[in-house]
């Protein structure tokens, strides 16, 4: 379920403040991402729950490192993503 056209996939749902904050942070740092609404894409919900094991949105997946993913508003991971983006 990942795409190589953007740096990250962000699996979101409507009315999720942590989803909004995560995307706002990526926007502010110029980090490219593709948002996927898990309420509209059943395969995305299946992917983040069955394959990745998450039950909380947002789920962020690094498209260049399939082992780098997390769930929820993780400021530590957001800062790390921004630092990696600057280094690239």
pLDDT at 88: 65
DSSP-assigned beta bridge partners for residue 8: 33, 62
Tokens of residue 52, six digits: 């990745």
Quote the CA–CA distance of 57 and 36 in Å, as a whole number: 11
Low-confidence ranges of the chain (pLDDT < 50): 2-3
What CATH superfamily classification does 8-78 receive? Glutaredoxin (3.40.30.10)
pTM of the entire structure?
Answer: 0.91
Q: Which of 79, 82, 51 is nearest to 67 (CA)?
A: 51
User: What is the Cα 80 distance to its own chain's centre?
Assistant: 13
pLDDT at 3: 45
Residue 52 sits at φ, ψ, to 5 deg, of -95, -20
């Amino acid at each position: 379920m990942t795409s190589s056209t953007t740096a990250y996939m962000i699996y979101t749902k409507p009315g999720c403040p942590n989803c909004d904050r995560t995307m706002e942070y990526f926007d502010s740092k110029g980090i490219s991402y593709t948002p996927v609404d898990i309420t509209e894409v059943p395969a995305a919900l299946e992917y983040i729950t069955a394959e990745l094991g998450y039950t909380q949105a947002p789920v962020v997946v690094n498209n260049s490192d399939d082992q780098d993913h997390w769930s929820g508003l993780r400021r530590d991971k957001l800062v790390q993503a921004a630092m990696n983006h600057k280094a690239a």
